[in-house]
Structure 1
Amino acid sequence: MGWKLPTIAAATIVAFTATAVLFGMAPDASAGCGSGVVDTDTAGSQSIAGFSGDQLQNAAQIMNAAAELGLPTAAQTIGVMTAIGESTLRNLDHGDNAINPDDTIADSVGLFQQQELGYGPLADRMDPFKAATAFFTRLMGVEGWQTMEPTLAAHAVQINADPSYYTPFYAPATAVVQGLISTGGAGACAISGDAVQLAQQLVDAADKGRLVGSTPDHIKEIRWIAQGQAVPACGVDVRILQVIVLALQIFDQVGVSDINRKCTSQIEGAGTASSHYFNGGGLAVDFYLLNGRSLTGADGNSIRLITALDPVMPDGARVGQAACRTNAGTAISTSHFAQFEDTCNHLHIDVGFAGGQLADR
């Protein structure tokens, strides 16, 4: 291994309309959406998160290998993250020397710095698609990889010295994957700007157990909107509905603990000054669970959701838990989100101080 890189700020090039967003989807939500395959020629003609040319073409090959195996965007991101950490997305014909069990010297090569023992002949290891396929085949054999911290999932395949080594590369990998999805047609799906339609999608997800609530239950606020009911002091901003739908396109299961606190008479945190409460409430959402894992705002799933949402959020939108990320060593840069401190038992996102529409850029 041995390829130590500085943290790269997540940035991406994304084109959107005011009422439609292109996003990678959770595996069981992909019907009618793209196949997950990226055009490699298009991929190399841009710059994303400091990568360009052959690097992005290699990233596209990694994503296509995952798509060929029927794996979701989460796997694509883990693959790209690993290759950033191992080779900076360059197909290297050299690498770290390692001692084989028979005391011979093995040279690791390619995007994933794979060795002949276990990964086959040099030609295969130097073929980006075949090398990525070998990586994903091993990843699929890791029990519970879908809910593991991304760096731990990668470590389970690569078996390097530091299990946390890949953490700094998760944010740029997310930017690369989402950027290639948006410009290369991979795994894309449209999202409505109509509150009733959005709420109906969310109710369907709730009925299937993919969207879950806490105590008090805020899912009922979404159900009322889906039914066309305007319940006083229980509304939800359409941009918050879109954020929840987008979260469900990225994760198999999403847990929401707070939306409109005025509706449930909750006075906590920032009190009546909270985006959960002021101006009728419903201008914020707190996520407490993603893919069965509790959130701190600094964990891998929180970082994944923040970096995926940031490019499409209106200026002035806010994301909490800044200090939690700093203290955990996972601080990230955001282009549209303003970051602020909050408790480390959820992930807060709000549009209470934002202008414009989600994805209106």
Structure 2
Amino acid sequence: MNLITRTALAGGAILALLAGSFTLSSGTGQASACTTQTVDPATAGKVAAVAGYSGTQLTNAAHIINAATALGLDTAGQTLGVMTAMGESSLRVLDHGDTAGPDSRGLFQQRDKWGTLAQRMDAEQSATLFFTKLKTITGWEQLAPSAAAHKVQGNADPDHYTRYYQPATAVVQALAATTRGTGCGISGDKIELAQNLVTAADEGRLKGLTPDHIKEIRWIAQGQTVPDCDIDVRILQIITIALNTFHRIGVSDINRKCTGQILGGGTKSSHWINGGGGAVDFYSLAATPTTGADGNAIRLIGALDAVVQAKARIGQKQCRAKADVRLALQHFAEFDDTCNHLHVDIAYV
């Protein structure tokens, strides 16, 4: 069983999500800009074995994930990189090559033409070399993972890495909650938050389903007060954090009282009580469907758990249990919910 724990924030930063403001205290008294989430390699090396990989191997996987993140790649890219290194070196920084490539070195078995020996023997730098080339391949996202890796590596068998895809997925998911640097200086102004989210919606980065809950955000952005269609400012902040983290997200439900939806908990649902707008359901993160137990969901839960108040709730508990993922949470209370989204609510705080 994988035990997923949330690490302390780097630098002793203290985050608090309050009724009217999101604050980051870094000792300067000033709000910080968003910081990139990275996996803590030291913590990763202490995570229980995942799919047969442990210790230094998981530390190296963390460096690969961080290199991908630094280049703006999401979970799909991170998984592809970890998969490739599994197939090349079993996630070890090798100081030798093989018959086909006697000058191959490092996690990705990169030959002399890739870079200096120091670069190829450094986990994060060698991963950066890999991802930099990956990004030059048009449409790599639409290729089978092994085919995409093959185009980067130029190895003999295009299907060589396929067997490593599932283990890589498990490793990326297991390390997702060991992120550090979760903070953003998020506005506490409801209209400003809504206006920024509307901009994202118009750009296609924030999407909704039918019935349309994005219109609730639009009304707030326009300064309109529509009865039973309000959204708690903390939910707008949570959506903003998700958008800042994944760039492209999908939201299926916010205020069901506004749309008249009688689903699940009905009129007792956190989407309905107290006028509605005290919960949000994410159906996709990083333009990828979420089950509430996948790597993106775990990453978002870890980020939000650092900032929500006690009694905030996170759904899909049984989905994570089925995936053998247990969370060590400081603030969130977990509950069961369907495995086709990630539910977050503050309605009972």
Q: Shared fold (TM-score greater than 0.5)?
A: yes
Counterpart of 1:341 in structure 2: which amino acid?
D
**Is 1:258–2:253 an aligned residue pair?**
yes
Counterpart for residue 295 of structure 1: 290
Counterpart for residue 331 of structure 1: 325
- Deviation of 1:285 (Å): 0.6
Aligned residues: 316
Does the 8 A contact of 2:80 with 2:168 survive in 1? no
Deviations along 1:175-209, one digit per CA (max 9) or x if unpaired, are: 44x41x35xxxxx7421122122111111212222
**Is 1:162–2:168 an aligned residue pair?**
no
Counterpart for residue 16 of structure 1: 14
Counterpart for residue 25 of structure 1: none
Question: What is the rounded CA distance, in whole Å, between the counterparts of 2:175 and 2:284 in structure 1?
Answer: 22
Question: What is the rounded CA distance, in whole Å, between the counterparts of 2:127 and 2:112 in structure 1?
Answer: 16
Question: What is the rounded CA distance, in whole Å, between the counterparts of 1:35 and 1:242 in structure 2?
Answer: 16
Counterpart of 1:169 in structure 2: which amino acid?
V
- Deviation of 1:169 (Å): 2.3
- Deviation of 1:341 (Å): 1.7
Does the 8 A contact of 1:77 with 1:174 survive in 2? no
**Is 1:340–2:335 an aligned residue pair?**
yes
**TM-score of the superposed pair, with normalisation by structure 2:** 0.71
Counterpart of 1:351 in structure 2: which amino acid?
I
Q: Secondary structure at the match of 1:192?
A: coil
Q: Secondary structure at the match of 1:288?
A: strand
Counterpart for residue 72 of structure 1: 72
- Deviation of 1:252 (Å): 2.7
Pairwise CA RMSD: 4.5
Question: What is the rounded CA distance, in whole Å, between the counterparts of 2:174 and 2:314 in structure 1?
Answer: 19
Correspondence for 1:269 among 264, 275, 283:
264
Question: What is the rounded CA distance, in whole Å, between the counterparts of 2:246 and 2:299 in structure 1?
Answer: 10
Q: Secondary structure at the match of 1:333?
A: strand
Does the 8 A contact of 2:217 with 2:231 survive in 1? yes
Does the 8 A contact of 1:81 with 1:170 survive in 2? no
- Deviation of 1:172 (Å): 5.0
- Deviation of 1:344 (Å): 2.2
**Is 1:139–2:134 an aligned residue pair?**
yes
Counterpart for residue 224 of structure 2: 229
Counterpart for residue 3 of structure 1: none
Does the 8 A contact of 1:78 with 1:170 survive in 2? yes
Greater CA deviation, 267-276 or 143-152?
143-152
- Deviation of 1:221 (Å): 1.4
Counterpart for residue 311 of structure 2: 316
**Is 1:244–2:239 an aligned residue pair?**
yes
- Deviation of 1:139 (Å): 3.2
Question: Measured at CA, do residues 21 and 162 of structure 1 come closer, stay the same or move farther in structure 2, by a change above 3 Å?
Answer: farther
| Structure 1 spans left out of the alignment, 5+ residues | 1-5, 23-31, 183-187, 356-361
Counterpart for residue 52 of structure 2: none
- Deviation of 1:301 (Å): 3.3
Question: Measured at CA, do residues 50 and 352 of structure 1 come closer, stay the same or move farther in structure 2, by a change above 3 Å?
Answer: farther
Question: What is the rounded CA distance, in whole Å, between the counterparts of 2:247 and 2:295 in structure 1?
Answer: 15
Question: Measured at CA, do residues 315 and 155 of structure 1 come closer, stay the same or move farther in structure 2, by a change above 3 Å?
Answer: farther
- Deviation of 1:142 (Å): 5.6
Deviations along 1:89-147, one digit per CA (max 9) or x if unpaired, are: xx96548x88544xx8x69864x353548856754321345312222124325655668
- Deviation of 1:153 (Å): 7.7
Does the 8 A contact of 1:285 with 1:349 survive in 2? yes
Counterpart of 2:342 in structure 1: which amino acid?
L
Counterpart of 1:251 in structure 2: which amino acid?
F
Question: What is the rounded CA distance, in whole Å, between the counterparts of 1:152 and 1:242 in structure 2?
Answer: 39
Q: Secondary structure at the match of 1:312?
A: coil
Question: What is the rounded CA distance, in whole Å, between the counterparts of 2:199 and 2:319 in structure 1?
Answer: 33
Counterpart of 1:320 in structure 2: which amino acid?
G
- Deviation of 1:79 (Å): 7.7
Question: Measured at CA, do residues 256 and 322 of structure 1 come closer, stay the same or move farther in structure 2, by a change above 3 Å?
Answer: same
- Deviation of 1:311 (Å): 2.5
Counterpart for residue 156 of structure 2: none
Q: Secondary structure at the match of 1:191?
A: coil
Question: Measured at CA, do residues 12 and 142 of structure 1 come closer, stay the same or move farther in structure 2, by a change above 3 Å?
Answer: farther
Counterpart of 2:225 in structure 1: which amino acid?
A
Question: What is the rounded CA distance, in whole Å, between the counterparts of 2:333 and 2:199 in structure 1?
Answer: 31
Question: What is the rounded CA distance, in whole Å, between the counterparts of 2:338 and 2:110 in structure 1?
Answer: 44
Counterpart for residue 157 of structure 2: none
Does the 8 A contact of 1:79 with 1:136 survive in 2? no
Alignment of 1:114-153 (within 5 A): 114=109, 116=111, 122-141=117-136
Counterpart of 1:331 in structure 2: which amino acid?
V
| Structure 2 spans left out of the alignment, 5+ residues | 25-31, 48-54, 154-159
Greater CA deviation, 216-225 or 6-15?
6-15
Does the 8 A contact of 1:214 with 1:257 survive in 2? yes
**TM-score of the superposed pair, with normalisation by structure 1:** 0.69
Q: Secondary structure at the match of 1:165?
A: helix
Does the 8 A contact of 2:15 with 2:307 survive in 1? no
